[in-house]
Amino acid sequence: MTHLTTRCGAISIFGAMLAVLGTLIGEYEVIAIGVAIIIYILLTFIPRPKIRVVRETEATKAFEGDETDVYVKVENTGIFPAIIHVYDVISPYMRLISGTNRYLVYLRQREKLEFVYRVECPLRGHYVFGPLMIRRRDRAFLYFDDEKIEKYTYFTVYPHIHELHRVPIKTRFIVPYYGTITTKTAGMGSEFLYIREYIVGDPFKIINWKASMRLRRWMVNQYEKESLCNVLIILDAREITGKGTPLFNPLEFSVKATASLSYHLLRTRNQVGLVTYGSEVKAIFENISPHQFDIILNALVGTYASGNMPMITAIDTILPHILPRSTIVFISPLEDDITIYSCVRMLRDRGHEVIILSPSLVDIEATLYDKNTDKLSMLHLERQNKINELRGLGALVIDWDVKKPLSYVLNLVVEEWMR
């Protein structure tokens, strides 16, 4: 739709007033000036040009922090030349690194404009480049006509995956295959468990020579059996988890942790599932298929902070489908949900190991606020109570200071166990 600028409005009303005034006072010169102004404004109006747009991106997928080039071609396929303002809409969650996504250009018939710009994608998610906005205007900027060309390019940014070496997961559920998860059971593995006396059939390579010499009988090292386990990751994606900045909030840290844990566990041949809850419950149950990580990663890309569903609702929904004795990894800032305690109690009663990884919203807000207040001290005390309460219910709670990397935090827990 063609709009008039304020300038056009002022000039045209001035022209009309002159014409009317001239008619009233009978001065033909005044009428002529008024009519001339109106005719000029009418002549300046030119029809909307026909524009064809082609947009291409360097890739259609990227990981957080990657950069990509966007190529845009704009062609005037109409019969009229036009002064156009081109603006390619970019998501506000992307950074424009180089080049520009807007141009003011005069295009003759069949003339093309080609431009390229580079964007950085610091946040995971599904993105759309476009629509392409075209603003036609005349030289005097009396008219403008905004046209939205519905040309979209879809782009996916996956969460960054941290390399993990050890995860603090233990299982009592014996799977008849070797894995990397310690089971507190003697067997073939790499983690030392205890020393025992040699029995017939033990391989010579596990004889502990020092202990044998000291005790004057044959002693062997017994290693801990390393097995496989089923892990269900429950991700809290309520609205509150999105507090902070788009990049620095509990949900983003939770998503990165989920992706990294899933990747590590699936690589070491464990079954991994994912449940997210917020405005609704979405579940991908435990599986070890080759595509499981892709499925989980795609689900994580489309996870946004929304809703205020309590955890108990999510657990009630998925409980019948959880594999017996599987390990539950619950990733949540533990805010504004009193049903967490009953959920942990219920899961523990059913024989599940419960590991809670909690990125601290209080720490995130304190970092962003950059000023220590008494309220923050009080909130820290409150959070500590929650963690202690959950630990009292038998869950392993990892209080994640998000300024430290996930692998570092997980290593600390494993080392604490080993001590």
Partner 1 sequence: MLRISADKRRFSFALIGVFLIAVIAIMPFISKREMHLSAYSDSWNDLSEFRKNLELKGYKIKCITSTPLSLREYNGDYNKTLLCIIGVERPYTNDEIASIINFVDRGGSLIVADDFGFGNRLIKVFGVEFSRCRLWSPNFIKNPSFPVINVTYEGIHYEVMMNEPSTLSGVSEKEILVETDSNCWLDANKNGKRDLDELSDIYPIVASTHYGEGEIIIISDPGIFINDCWNIKDNSFFVMALVKSLVPSESTIIFDESIHVHKMPNHNFVQVMFFVLCNLMLYPAGKVVLLGAAIVLIAPYMRKIKRPVIWFHRDILTHATYHHLKIPELKDEDVLRMKHIAEEKVRLALVLSKDEFANIDESILKSVVGDDLLYDFITNWEKYSVEDLPKIIKKMDEWVKR
Enumerate binding residues for partner 1 (CB under 8 A).
1-6, 8-9, 12-13, 24, 85, 87, 90, 92-96, 101-102, 122-123, 133, 135, 144, 146, 240, 242-248, 335, 361-362, 365-366, 368-369, 371, 373-379, 381-382, 384-385, 388-389, 392
Residue 89 CB, nearest distance to partner 1 (Å)?
Answer: 8
Residue 183 CB, nearest distance to partner 1 (Å)?
Answer: 29
What amino acid is encoded at 406 in this protein?
L
Structure tokens at 195: 């020393």
Residue 27 CB, nearest distance to partner 1 (Å)?
Answer: 14
**Shorter beta-carbon distance to partner 1: residue 250 or 273:** 250
**Shorter beta-carbon distance to partner 1: residue 113 or 295:** 113
State the Rg of the chain over Cα. Answer: 33
Residue 318 CB, nearest distance to partner 1 (Å)?
Answer: 26
Exposure string over 373-411, b if 16+ CB within 10 A, otherwise e: eeeeeebeeebeebbeebeebebbbbbbebeeebbebbb
Given strand 192-197, what is the order of strands in its sheet?
181-186, 219-227, 192-197
The owner of tokens 């988890």 is 241
**Shorter beta-carbon distance to partner 1: residue 104 or 288:** 104
**Shorter beta-carbon distance to partner 1: residue 19 or 410:** 19
Residue 128 CB, nearest distance to partner 1 (Å)?
Answer: 14
CA-closest candidate to residue 56, choices 187, 155, 124: 155
φ, ψ of residue 66 in degrees (nearest 5): -75, 160
Residue 411 CB, nearest distance to partner 1 (Å)?
Answer: 25
Segment holding 414, helix H or strand E: helix 406-418
CA-closest candidate to residue 56, choices 107, 139, 129: 129
Residue 225 CB, nearest distance to partner 1 (Å)?
Answer: 33
Sign for the pseudo-dihedral over CA of 167, 172, 173, 175 = positive
Cα first-last separation, the chain: 73
DSSP string, 323-339: PTT-EEEEE----S-TH
Instruction: Name the H helices within 246-373.
Output: 250-267, 292-301, 311-318, 339-349, 361-369
What amino acid is encoded at 237 in this protein?
A
**Shorter beta-carbon distance to partner 1: residue 128 or 247:** 247
The owner of tokens 């959070």 is 383
Question: How many other β-carbons are positioned within 10 Å of the β-carbon of residue 261?
Answer: 26
**Shorter beta-carbon distance to partner 1: residue 124 or 264:** 124
Residue 76 CB, nearest distance to partner 1 (Å)?
Answer: 19
**Shorter beta-carbon distance to partner 1: residue 233 or 240:** 240
φ, ψ of residue 251 in degrees (nearest 5): -65, -40
Residue 343 CB, nearest distance to partner 1 (Å)?
Answer: 17
**Shorter beta-carbon distance to partner 1: residue 105 or 193:** 105
**Shorter beta-carbon distance to partner 1: residue 167 or 397:** 397
Spatial distance between the Cα atoms of 171 and 386, rounded to a whole number of angstroms: 25
What amino acid is encoded at 284 in this protein?
I
**Shorter beta-carbon distance to partner 1: residue 263 or 400:** 400
Residue 390 CB, nearest distance to partner 1 (Å)?
Answer: 11
